[in-house]
Copies of this chain bind each other. A is one copy, B any other.
Amino acid sequence: MDFSSFLTSLGTSFVIFLVLMLLFTWLSRNPDNKVIYYPNRILRGMDPIQDGSRFGNPFAWIREALSSTEQDVIAASSVDAAVYFVFLSTMLGILVLAGLVLLPVLLPVAATDHSVRSSNTTSNGTFNDLDKFSLGHVKEKSSRLWAFVIAAYWVSFVTYYLLWKAYNHVSELRASALMSPDVRAEQFSVLVRDIPPPPEGQTRKEQVDSYFKAIYPDTFYRSMVVTDNKEVIKIWEELEGYRKKLAHAEAIYAELTKSGKTEGIRPTNKTGFLGLIGKKVDSIEYYNEKINELLPKLETVQKATLRDKQRGSALVFFTRRATAASAAQSLHARLVDTWTVMDAPEPRQIIWTNLPKSFYQRETRQYVVYTIVALTILFFMIPIGIISAFTTLANLRKLLPFIKPIVKVDAIRTVLEAYLPQLALIIFLAMLPKLLLFLSKQEGIPSVSHAERAASGKYFYFTVLNVFIGVTIGGTLFDSFKDIQKNPSSIVSLLARSLPSNATFFLTFVALKFFVGYGMELFRVVPLIIYRLKRKYLCKTEAEIKLAWAPGDLGFATRIPGDMLILTIVLCYCVIAPVIIPFGVLYFGLGWLVLRNQVLNVYVPSYESYGRMWPHINTRVVAALLLYQVTMCGYFAIKKFIYTPILIPLPILSLIFAFVCSKKFYRFFQATALEVACQDLKETPNMELIFRSFLPPYLCVNKAADEDQFEDALSQVSRSASFA
């Protein structure tokens, strides 16, 4: 691609971005759409439309994003979101500082080296104008290479400095969030796993209570033994389903009545499979009947579950934050695989089914999952290649004879022939984040945030290994791509083939990512359409409508690896082709701006992990830096630069940096420091409320029922000091 066509592609992307931004401005003014563009504000009880200033001009959102502080982000979303912005701004800072030195120095140094053009490039037609500004344009063994060596050092030191500052800052953010005087249930409790079988004549509840009362005579409050809830969940979900359907039917009935139709007409449904077959019944009566049938059954099962299905895991509650923090860090039993104690996750993010998994089960699962993921990352092309080989049109015609008439249509056949081969790959790539999250949960991790971190790490290795290294070194992924895809249909392989220079390919890739990607992020066209359709045809009750616009969270598990890929690309090319730096700056700058808006207005966090994501981010940034430094060593060696060994200290420095960082900061991200946990609270914590916040909804006996009965059912599990 020559320079002008590169500019054209860039210009097109920019125009798309502008159009998307204008569409966003226009659509977000419509009060009907406010639940799509301002759901976070609405859920926090603010009316975004009343605040008129927002609609002054199409750039109002930018002003708002820029003027928001870190505290606003924490208040509107979570510490995790604030930490994500620290990540974006640190990366931005690294690239800006790198660009300030590298662009004015390296571009002239490379461009003025005229010795290489004639000797190195034979085909004048394909010579890339951008190549003039890259390291490739500098002659072998040239002393101009010294400038690039110094640049490599500069970038590394800038990264160390800003990462160190960021780690310290995040650590402070975490500390101030954890020492907040607000009462947070999870700070008063610990999760106990691997409880040995209770001694004869003691229930598990009594066992746990006596164990912890002996160790913490003053601060132990109560315990909640984890139960096997499979059965109760099944009934509860059935009940909830009927309740929703009842509300839906009642809403329809109210609508019908309001619209003046004959009162006799009531909503009906069939009782059989999917409501398609079976006896026709009056919906409201039928669902009421079902609910009344299920309610006593649920209560019976709830009681039975609490009494008989106790598992070897429990949540233990303390009356002091510092005791809980200290207990989570201490060894309780002589054998490490019994009475394992750790921080309790937030109630909303506990993965209940993982809690009773035993120590060795967890360890084994972990290694099995690691093996599966490693195999997936390295060899995922093999099964997909096989599937692709089978899903050709000719094969399909044999296997599924009934599609023959469809295939005869020329247009359809062309499309099918074009897309069938990579269908398996596309499906695989779309499913991969979900698959990785599923696998991470299978490890026995007790909280959603931890599972997302684990999935994010796996996804990072997948993208870096397959996308970045795959493209750059021309490895298996893209070779296989070519083998599978006889048709030049996917945009990625088209780009890869038509651009001989990887640098220019990645330049365009980054540009596409930020202009189109962030434009779409802002525009939110898919949620908008889905919401509009649902509202028009499906939703009847308030709850249903609310569900239709539920904004979701930032999705760290895929977002961070995506950013990391860009960072890896930009870092690795920043010295070789410094023109990539402005693109990286735009990616992280625009990302910061757009996501600031999204975090303040749209997304609602589904958990709070107080910035535990940061050590993982830090490690991966250092990993990207290491890759960059190793690549640089390689590139200089290719350039026959005899002082290449001068770069060898860099990877060693990175390893030392990572080691020192983890030594200094990491433990605080694993556990809560006691000086932080011992801060005074605003009010005396209501321990009963804290305890109840951990009760999963399907174990809460119907609140309308008398409280005594509830206490009764519960007292089977919790006979603590306060009740004695």
- Bound CA span A666–B331, Å: 11
Say whether A675 faces chain B, with CB atoms less than 8 Å apart.
yes
- Bound CA span A211–B678, Å: 10
Whole-angstrom distance between the Cβ of A280 and the nearest chain B Cβ: 62
Given the contacts A214-B678, A215-B322, A337-B664, A673 and B175 also touching, CB distance less than 8 Å: no
What B residues does A171 contact at CB under 8 A? 334-335
Whole-angstrom distance between the Cβ of A675 and the nearest chain B Cβ: 5
- Of the candidates B327, B331, B337, B675, the one whose C-beta lies within 8 Å of that of A333 is B675
1/0 contact trace for A321-343 toward B, CB 8 Å? Answer: 01001110111111111010000
What B residues does A333 contact at CB under 8 A? 673, 675
- Of the candidates B216, B330, B363, B673, the one whose C-beta lies within 8 Å of that of A329 is B330
Given the contacts A334-B171, A663-B336, A678 and B325 also touching, CB distance less than 8 Å: no
What B residues does A325 contact at CB under 8 A? 330
Say whether A164 faces chain B, with CB atoms less than 8 Å apart.
no
Q: A664 to B335, Cβ gap below 8 A?
A: yes
A538-570 interface with B by 8 A CB criterion: none
- Bound CA span A674–B216, Å: 10
What B residues does A668 contact at CB under 8 A? 331, 334-336
Say whether A15 faces chain B, with CB atoms less than 8 Å apart.
no
1/0 contact trace for A282-314 toward B, CB 8 Å? Answer: 000000000000000000000000000000000
Say whether A590 faces chain B, with CB atoms less than 8 Å apart.
no
Say whether A676 faces chain B, with CB atoms less than 8 Å apart.
yes
Whole-angstrom distance between the Cβ of A652 and the nearest chain B Cβ: 13
Q: A673 to B337, Cβ gap below 8 A?
A: no
Say whether A413 faces chain B, with CB atoms less than 8 Å apart.
no
Given the contacts A329-B329, A330-B329, A665 and B339 also touching, CB distance less than 8 Å: no
Say whether A711 faces chain B, with CB atoms less than 8 Å apart.
no
1/0 contact trace for A194-220 toward B, CB 8 Å? Answer: 000000000000000001001110100
Whole-angstrom distance between the Cβ of A431 and the nearest chain B Cβ: 34
What B residues does A218 contact at CB under 8 A? 218
Whole-angstrom distance between the Cβ of A325 and the nearest chain B Cβ: 7
Q: B339 to A675, Cβ gap below 8 A?
A: yes
- The number of residues on chain A lying at the interface, defined by a beta carbon within 8 Å of a beta carbon of chain B, is 37
What B residues does A327 contact at CB under 8 A? 326, 674
Say whether A434 faces chain B, with CB atoms less than 8 Å apart.
no
What B residues does A336 contact at CB under 8 A? 663-668
Q: A334 to B673, Cβ gap below 8 A?
A: yes
Whole-angstrom distance between the Cβ of A657 and the nearest chain B Cβ: 14
Whole-angstrom distance between the Cβ of A165 and the nearest chain B Cβ: 14
- Bound CA span A674–B327, Å: 9
Q: A674 to B335, Cβ gap below 8 A?
A: no
Q: A335 to B665, Cβ gap below 8 A?
A: yes
- Bound CA span A675–B331, Å: 9
Say whether A494 faces chain B, with CB atoms less than 8 Å apart.
no
Say whether A671 faces chain B, with CB atoms less than 8 Å apart.
yes
- Bound CA span A663–B194, Å: 14
Whole-angstrom distance between the Cβ of A371 and the nearest chain B Cβ: 15
- Bound CA span A214–B331, Å: 23
Q: A326 to B330, Cβ gap below 8 A?
A: yes
1/0 contact trace for A644-663 toward B, CB 8 Å? Answer: 00000000000000000001
A338-397 interface with B by 8 A CB criterion: 339, 363
- Bound CA span A325–B326, Å: 10
- Bound CA span A643–B175, Å: 59
What B residues does A664 contact at CB under 8 A? 335-337
What B residues does A330 contact at CB under 8 A? 325-326, 329-330, 671, 674
What B residues does A215 contact at CB under 8 A? 322, 674-675, 678
What B residues does A667 contact at CB under 8 A? 331, 336
Residue of B nearest to A670 (CB): B331
Given the contacts A215-B322, A329-B329, A175 and B334 also touching, CB distance less than 8 Å: yes
Q: A332 to B674, Cβ gap below 8 A?
A: yes
- Of the candidates B326, B331, B676, the one whose C-beta lies within 8 Å of that of A673 is B331
Whole-angstrom distance between the Cβ of A495 and the nearest chain B Cβ: 45
- Bound CA span A461–B165, Å: 41
Whole-angstrom distance between the Cβ of A320 and the nearest chain B Cβ: 9
- Bound CA span A654–B26, Å: 68
What B residues does A666 contact at CB under 8 A? 336
- Bound CA span A664–B334, Å: 9
Residue of B nearest to A678 (CB): B215
Q: B211 to A663, Cβ gap below 8 A?
A: no
Residue of B nearest to A326 (CB): B330
Given the contacts A331-B674, A674-B332, A663 and B363 also touching, CB distance less than 8 Å: yes
Q: A673 to B322, Cβ gap below 8 A?
A: no
Residue of B nearest to A168 (CB): B335
What B residues does A337 contact at CB under 8 A? 663-664
What B residues does A334 contact at CB under 8 A? 171-172, 174-175, 668, 673, 675-676
What B residues does A671 contact at CB under 8 A? 330-331
What B residues does A329 contact at CB under 8 A? 326, 329-331
Whole-angstrom distance between the Cβ of A537 and the nearest chain B Cβ: 53
Residue of B nearest to A327 (CB): B326
Whole-angstrom distance between the Cβ of A427 and the nearest chain B Cβ: 38
What B residues does A672 contact at CB under 8 A? 331
A202-247 interface with B by 8 A CB criterion: 211, 214-216, 218
Q: Which of A218, A322, A326, A665 has the most CB of B within 10 A?
A: A326
Residue of B nearest to A679 (CB): B214
Residue of B nearest to A332 (CB): B674
What B residues does A211 contact at CB under 8 A? 675
What B residues does A214 contact at CB under 8 A? 675, 678
Q: Which of A322, A331, A332 has the most CB of B within 10 A?
A: A331
1/0 contact trace for A457-473 toward B, CB 8 Å? Answer: 00000000000000000
Whole-angstrom distance between the Cβ of A218 and the nearest chain B Cβ: 7
Residue of B nearest to A322 (CB): B215
- Bound CA span A626–B309, Å: 45
- Bound CA span A678–B332, Å: 10
Residue of B nearest to A172 (CB): B334
What B residues does A675 contact at CB under 8 A? 211, 214-215, 332-334, 339
Instruction: List, sorted by A's number, 5 A–B pairs whose CB atoms are closer than 8 Å.
Output: A216-B322, A331-B671, A332-B673, A334-B668, A337-B663
Ranked nearest first, the 10 interchain pairs of A and B with the lowest CB-CB distance are: A215-B678, A326-B330, A329-B330, A175-B334, A336-B667, A331-B673, A215-B674, A332-B674, A334-B673, A334-B668
Additional pairs, 4, CB under 8 Å, beyond known A326-B327, A329-B331: A326-B326, A329-B329, A331-B672, A337-B663
